Amino acid sequence: MNADQQEKGGRRRYWTNLTLAGIAGQVGCLTLVIIAGALLLGLWLDAQFNSRPLITLILLVVSVPISLGTMFFVVRQAVKRIKSNVPAQKTDRPEEAGHGN
């Protein structure tokens, strides 16, 4: 492997790591927004209906699977975009391409 190929591999790894860090940050922020929204909405509804911890607890419990589903959706979409940007690798050997006997 020559130095040019190593440099290209290093850049690709750098951008892949940066993309994964961005996805992790996005998922973390979405989780925080969903849970904080459930907490604030629950506290407000509890104040309106005078049912202090009940609605808040219910909304917090319901926000966990919603947060997990959102994480799963965001990661699936990001992986789909990453896979569509990766070019297909060409092989130089005919036996690897399925043409050899």
Least confident of 13-17, 49-53, 88-92: 88-92
Q: How confident is the model at residue 36 (pLDDT cuts 50, 70, 90)?
A: very high
Cα angle: 97, vertex 95, 4; to 5 degrees: 65
Note the pLDDT of residue 1.
60
CA separation, residue 85 to residues 12, 48, 78, 99 (Å): 12, 50, 11, 27
